[in-house]
Chains A and B, each alone.
Chain A
Amino acid sequence: MEVDQLQRSFLEYTNSLFREGFLDGQFGQLQLLQDESNPEFVFEVVSLFFEDSERILNDLTLALDQQNVDFKKIDAHVHQFKGSSSSIGAQRVRNACIAFRNFCEGQNVEACRRCLQQVKQEYLLVKTKLEALLRLEQQILAAGGVIPMLDS
């Protein structure tokens, strides 16, 4: 595929992710921090996010499976997840975390389990989309092009 076609696909895809609320302005900030001296920056941050998220989701699943659920611990995990999703611009994950924290206050295990499902779902969605985006980036670079700047 030609470079400008790939670049157009990249821009269209990214813009759709912004429009649909999967990503917010913070992701644009990450793209701005990527340059020739740090060409893999977005990939690195996103990879860290994936690893970290999976760890938190495992911890949350375990915590909600306990006989005596420690809601304080759960709240701490969700707070962490809210922070990291906010830092990369994963808006829908962040919003799901905010909702989750509200339910934590109610100390209802079933409600919390449903929240966890919701957060997991949003995370998997954004993960798929980010992976697709990163693949497009790789294709552009492999074809000898530069990654176009996003509309702010």
Chain B
Amino acid sequence: MSSGLATEMEFHVLAVDDSIIDRKLIERLLKTSSYQVTVVESGVKALEFLGLVDDENTNSNCISNNRSTHHVEVNLIITDYSMPSVTGYDLLRKIKESAMLKDIPVVIMSSENIPSRINNCLEHGAKEFFLKPVQQSDVNKLRPHLMRGKCRTQNQQNIINKRKPLEECLSPDRTTRFNDLALVQ
């Protein structure tokens, strides 16, 4: 990876957990990887932060009148599964249904090892499912998802600006799987 790009790659992760201890832990784990971190205590607060209002009367793409928070770029969302009111699963579904947010990678955490739950989350678009307590080795798995997201955004930017594509943003031995744009080889 070229050094010029490395300095630009500051990732912002939104972490969601109703346990105060787990919030402290995940925040520290994410910060050791040098990510910018925002931690919220509920699915409701996460939706507010992302600019999605949980309103039963409108569809999930409704943007709240207060637009100040939705301009903050979020590169990955990591959420606990079992939370009151809006669960991690609910959050995953709402994010994937949102035109604005659907490309943000979502990771689920849970203290319970229930295969049907894990499969369900992965089938609905979660990139990873971590069993609690979350370890440094789990957090290390986030980087490829973050890198892919940033490259896709950067590439879209370059096509718009008609600049040279950033094929060097991924190391040569990584496989690249892009849903929409094909990275120029």
Contacts and interface: CB of A to CB of B under 8 A. Distances in A.
Nearest to A80: B19
Contacts of A86: 111, 132-133
Interface stretch (B25-33, B38-46, B122-130, B158-166): B25-33
Contact of A84 (B19, B29, B32, B82): B19
A87 B25 contact: yes
Q: Looking at chain B's contact residues, is the secondary structure mostly helix, strand, loop, or mixed?
A: helix
Interface residues of A, number: 21
Contacts of B22: 83-84, 87
Interface in A37-51: 38, 41, 44-45, 48-49
B32 to A, nearest CB: 7
A87 B111 CA distance: 9
B111 A88 contact: no
Contacts of B25: 30, 33, 45, 87
B28 A33 contact: yes
A33 B21 CA distance: 14
A77 interface: no
B28 A87 contact: no
Interface in A82-97: 82-84, 86-89
Contacts of B136: 29, 32-33
B98 interface: no
B143 interface: no
Interface string A67-108: 000000000000110111011110000000000000000000
Interface of B: 19-22, 24-25, 28-29, 32, 82, 111, 132-133, 135-136
Interface of A: 26, 29-30, 32-33, 38, 41, 44-45, 48-49, 52, 79-80, 82-84, 86-89
